[in-house]
Structure 1
Amino acid sequence: MKTFNVNIVTPDGPVVDTNVELVSAKAKSGELGIMAGHVPMVAPLQIGAVRLVLGDNKSELVAISGGFLEVRPDQVTILAQAAEKAENIDAARAKEAKMRAERLLQGKQDQVDLKRAELALKRATNRLNVHEGKL
């Protein structure tokens, strides 16, 4: 299959710069699958996993905390608020964050704190799922 370049960038710097056959990501409008020659577009992304198919049945998962995906004829760029490769995720830290968010959701707080706790829970769950290889 034909390959193309993918960059995943955060405010802290680049996380991924590689050639792939396919990129799969969760956009606000639904699941996107991008292959070489895809029509140019820009889409907002949800908290979720980005799957990079490298070829030879090899794939890599990256946890992202929202952002934007830009498709150009020979390149895909993902600008994410935060991104971590599966092998770089600290599972113990993610579990602690998940438990902390769950405790906050059980307590009584205002709507702003409730929304923050829900987002923290989504991010922590996403990081754990990516670390375990789940989509």
Structure 2
Amino acid sequence: MSQMNVELVAVERRLWSGDATFVFARTTEGEIGILPGHEPTLAELEHAGVVRIDTPDGTSVTAAVHGGFLSVTPEGVTVLAEVAELSEEIDVERARTAAGRADSDTDEGAAARARAETRLRAAGSAV
């Protein structure tokens, strides 16, 4: 099975690094799936999206990612996020509370709701 090196990095820390067989992300241009050997690409990540990394052992690493860039080079894939949380780090009740509290009538409120809903999707919880 073909593999590629993947780095998932946020401004404040490295969240995950290792070999992967597939990367899925949401960019400002739409969804992208990356397999080993993908052509070089630079894409802007959505302000609130989920990134999934499939590993060679059959497990997946899922993260809520808020802004940043995705870079694909012959050496591998790098996800550079402004803010990111691994699914197991997400407090589901806190995210539900934030989603319910957000005022969707303002741009700021709509963005807060989108971030909370992304965190819930990454955690595998119903939105």
TM-score for the superposition, normalised by structure 2: 0.91
More helix by share: 1
Query: Residue 128 of structure 1 corresponds to which residue in structure 2?
Result: 120
Q: Taking structure 1 as reference, are residues 86 and 57 closer, same or farther at Cα in structure 2, changes over 3 Å only?
A: same
Is structure 2 residue 53 aligned with structure 1 residue 52? yes
1:2-53 deviation digits (Å, cap 9, x = unpaired): 1111111111111111210000101111111111111111000112111111
Query: Residue 40 of structure 2 corresponds to which residue in structure 1?
Result: 40
Q: CA deviation at 1:58?
A: 2.1
Q: CA deviation at 1:56?
A: 4.1
Query: Residue 110 of structure 1 corresponds to which residue in structure 2?
Result: none
d(CA) in 1 for partners of 2:44, 2:125: 23
Is structure 2 residue 107 aligned with structure 1 residue 115? yes
Let me know the Cα RMSD of the aligned residues. Answer: 1.5
Do the aligned residues in 1 keep the contact of 2:7 with 2:18 (CA within 8 Å)?
yes
Q: Size of the alignment, in residue pairs?
A: 125
- Unaligned segments of structure 1, at least 5 residues: 107-113
Do the aligned residues in 1 keep the contact of 2:92 with 2:125 (CA within 8 Å)?
no
Which structure is larger by alpha-carbon Rg, 1 or 2? 1
Q: CA deviation at 1:97?
A: 1.2
Q: CA deviation at 1:81?
A: 1.2
Q: Which runs of 4+ in 1 moved over 3 A?
A: none
Superposition map of 1:1-135 within 5 A? 1-46=1-46, 47-101=48-102, 104-105=103-104, 114-132=106-124
User: Helix, strand or coil for the counterpart of 1:37?
Assistant: coil
TM-score for the superposition, normalised by structure 1: 0.86
User: Helix, strand or coil for the counterpart of 1:55?
Assistant: coil
- Unaligned segments of structure 2, at least 5 residues: none
d(CA) in 1 for partners of 2:73, 2:61: 21
